[in-house]
Structure 1
């Protein structure tokens, strides 16, 4: 185990004296002049990150449009839906985030291994073809090799992680539906919505109906993890856009034409989620053998081992967000409505960085599977640098535009006043959020799941303490101060791991 100097000062003389010639911190500045260069790595990142970011943003944008429609009904309904969405998202992330992250890494690794095997087989058959004499009686044998070679890359692949992910996703979706339908009121009570609160009935209606779409949500997200592992983020984008466009189209019809209010918004969302899952499944069946040859091919043990680590992590991560929503709900319907608007904008814009995180995870998982550490370092530095630039850009856009855009969500003067107070926090945290999300993707790509879990538990404990201390004293502002601290600690956890060259990053000092 290294000394304290090695951990705290990875570029110190102690480090150099051990024969290490490279500084781990240099990975953050590697090829900085080529940040926007359209080289092979830059194009691959763009081809993965842009569709992934758009797909990730599509659902929050649909939620923003839901929020805008519901805001026209009244602040009570807006607050009620806000707390219900927080509950549903917490349950979904706890169930599916570990599965999606693990699936992306495992599929990318297995796909890279399959490609290596295919390349080897192709090279072997090509060499055999050259060795075969060009005589008429050997033509049938040569044509047989050629036909087999032509089939390579066109047949459906058998990747055990795909079947395992779909089975786990379907089971978790059914369990989530049962849990939320049966326990809607107790969960809302826990979130600070009392039985005599005017928010209770619309919140319960929305949460119960939206829970019926949980199986579709978890299955579609599991399949998105599969496509990300294939470095195909366009297919999930097309499916998500089709589903969310349906949601936006159906919202005013169910809410106002059929006079269903918040229930209509939930029904429209459920229909859109089942449409997304059907589109993704039809596309997936063309590329992969979804049904495994035998049950022994499934990888439940591998998924559970790493999935449980990420389950611990995602509970810690999302508990901070859910607790902050609960704190806002305890302040009343006006602060909760303002918090919902700020939170949706905060999360939606931050998800742009998640596109870079997906690209980093897919590329790094393939690079580590091939033991191509030079490419791993280059990809990590490039996505981190792009993440910082993206965060600064979002900071400028939100700081200048959200003052005017907030009126699209509500006309209530009290709600707008609190929204304007929250705008500086939403805008100024964008660079921090972007780097935190990109660090997550990089560590997932390196299969560094244990560190990702344990470090975020410590971050969550510290953040919850700040939230509990600051919220009673400073109210709405205290909640956003605590969330800013939370994201800053998340970013530092990622910086520490790579900057000290620990775990899978020890190659940075070799």
Structure 2
């Protein structure tokens, strides 16, 4: 708990709280859909939500690159470069969102076929949910870009306030639309859409007011030279996101195919909530690494004392401290999840679903013990700008996971699906180890050469 820890905690705590909101709201949505007492409704919502999330995250490479570019520009005190980075991300994000929304609205059956088999009973709930959620593509991406821009300037409190306000609105609106107005899963999707619109509007208005972005730059097509860092970083991370979502889509597809009653899919949705509730802290620390590391890499001079600070050695110290926190918190979150399993089990009134979710939920808790190292290590890769190395590591892990998903579920059922998650994250951990000890710019080998 020295000055370095305190500085990181000042940035990390609001970031952790921000990341906690979305899974908690997801848990609220799942709670109310479960109140319908229909496993197929839960399965349909989970399938549509997975498809939307996968389609969204495949093209949401912009926030990670934006946070790194903004952090470097902010460390140099260059406001113009900060505006350029944010404006370019907003322009590209707008164009990508139009394509994503159009595909989900025009071809819902084909999109859902990535997860659900033709004629699946859950389709009757998945189709209307996906239709409404497709309108959230643009506001969701704008909110993420706004969040990354504020992180780049080391302001994590403002995004927390915006997310809290918009998602409280979503939580209040859920039961009203679903039950009072009798809209079912469609009501849950409408509540989420309303929250996303409020969030995106708030981010954009505050960024304009603080001069983090200007309309003149948003409405002007940038040159290729200015777009090049964003596009190159985005292209490399795109490969990673495709690999990640290939894994998650296959997990969802295999889970949906385990039975036609929706029990396995509903149990999987419960286990995912367990996984996310603990992983939010670790994922938040990953984004802290993405922000602090590039800022620390820039050598700076204190105007009052003339003292130099920052640079590679200082960044290495930050990385070591973050990895230590990740390891400790990973173990802590895993133990807490195991203790809270009896409470989380009560979210479903269906006994069959609760029983099927027991072992996957235990595995989800155990995996948190290595996720701290994985998430923060990958955040360090992004902060260092090693996007291609991160993508290659993820692709290798995806190949191993797909092989596991084609074998283990046939033997162990839903438990086999979660065993495959273990294979996936273990391979990612190996990639982190290689980056920090052998091939990364902050490895001891690289630092020794630099000195």
Regarding TM over 0.5, the answer is: yes
Structure 2 distance, partners of 1:366, 1:237, is: 21
Q: Give distance in 2, aligned partners of 1:292 and 1:45.
A: 35
Q: 1:295 to 1:336 in 2, by over 3 A?
A: closer
Measured in 2, the distance between the counterparts of 1:348 and 1:54 equals 11
Secondary structure in structure 2 of the residue aligned to 1:198:
coil
Task: Name the counterpart of 1:184.
Answer: 108
Residues 435-456 of structure 1 deviation map (CA, whole Å, 9 limit, x = unaligned): 1110111111111111001111
Residue 50 of structure 1: CA displacement? 1.3
Question: For the structure 1 residues 301 and 415, does the alpha-carbon distance in structure 2 shift closer, same or farther, using more than 3 Å as the test?
Answer: same
Please name the residue that 1:380 is paired with.
319
Alignment correspondent of 1:471: 409
Secondary structure of the structure 2 residue equivalent to 1:426: helix
Q: Following the alignment from structure 1 to structure 2, what is the Cα–Cα distance between the partners of residues 254 and 494?
A: 44
Q: Unaligned stretches of 5+ in structure 2?
A: 300-309
- Tell me the CA shift for residue 295 of structure 1: 4.2
What does residue range 299-318 of structure 1 map to in structure 2 within 5 Å?
A: 299-318=226-245
The 8 Å contact of residues 173 and 217 in structure 1, kept in 2 or not, is answered as no
CA distance in 1, matches of 2:221, 2:274: 44
Alignment of 1:221-240 (within 5 A): 221-240=144-163
The root-mean-square deviation of aligned C-alpha atoms, in Å, is: 1.7
1:348 is displaced (CA, Å) by 3.1
CA distance in 2, matches of 1:42, 1:105: 21
**Preserved CA contact (<8 Å) 2:73 2:81:** no
Partner of 1:348: 277
Q: Secondary structure at the match of 1:289?
A: coil
Aligned residues of 2:274 and 2:344 also touching (Cα < 8 A): no
Mapped pair 1:48 → 2:27: no
Q: What residue number does 1:448 align with?
A: 386
For the structure 1 residues 295 and 504, does the alpha-carbon distance in structure 2 shift closer, same or farther, using more than 3 Å as the test?
Answer: farther
Offset of 1:344 from its aligned partner? 2.2
Structure 1 residue 112 and structure 2 residue 75: aligned? Answer: yes
Structure 1 residue 412 displacement after superposition: 0.5
- Superposition TM-score, scaled by structure 2 size: 0.92
What are the superposed Cα offsets for residues 216-260 of structure 1, whole Å, 9 maximum, x if unpaired?
A: 001111111111111111111111111110100000000000000
Q: Within the alignment, does 1:83 sit opposite 2:47 as a pair?
A: yes
Flag the 1:364–1:249 CA change in 2: closer, same or farther, 3 A: same
How far off is 1:325 after superposition? 1.1
Deviation (angstroms), 1:296: 4.7
Structure whose alpha-carbon radius of gyration is higher: 1
> How far off is 1:472 after superposition?
1.7
CA distance in 1, matches of 2:328, 2:169: 33
Show CA shifts across 1:263-322 (max 9, x none).
000000000000001111111112223235564567322211110100000111122122
Whether the 8 Å contact between 1:157 and 1:289 is mirrored in structure 2 is no
Query: How big is the shift at 1:190?
Result: 2.9
Q: How does 1:98-497 map to 2 (within 5 A)?
A: 98-114=61-77, 159-195=83-119, 197-287=120-210, 288-292=212-216, 295-296=221-222, 299-332=226-259, 333-370=262-299, 372-407=311-346, 409-497=347-435
TM-score by length of structure 1 reads: 0.82
Decide whether the 8 Å contact of 1:163 with 1:292 is kept in 2: no
CA distance in 2 between counterparts of 1:382 and 1:190 reads 40
Greater CA drift, 266-275 or 302-311: 302-311
> What does residue 94 of structure 1 align with?
58
- TM-superposed deviation, 1:504: 5.3
1:137-183 Cα offsets, whole Å, 9 max, x none, are xxxxxxxxxxxxxxxxxx88853101001111122222111111112
Question: Helix, strand or coil: the match of 1:269?
Answer: helix
Name 1:127's counterpart in structure 2.
Answer: none
d(CA) in 1 for partners of 2:338, 2:388:
36
Per-residue CA shift, 1:454-503, capped at 9, x if unaligned? Answer: 11111111111111111122211110100111111111211111112544
Change (3 A) 1:182 1:221: same
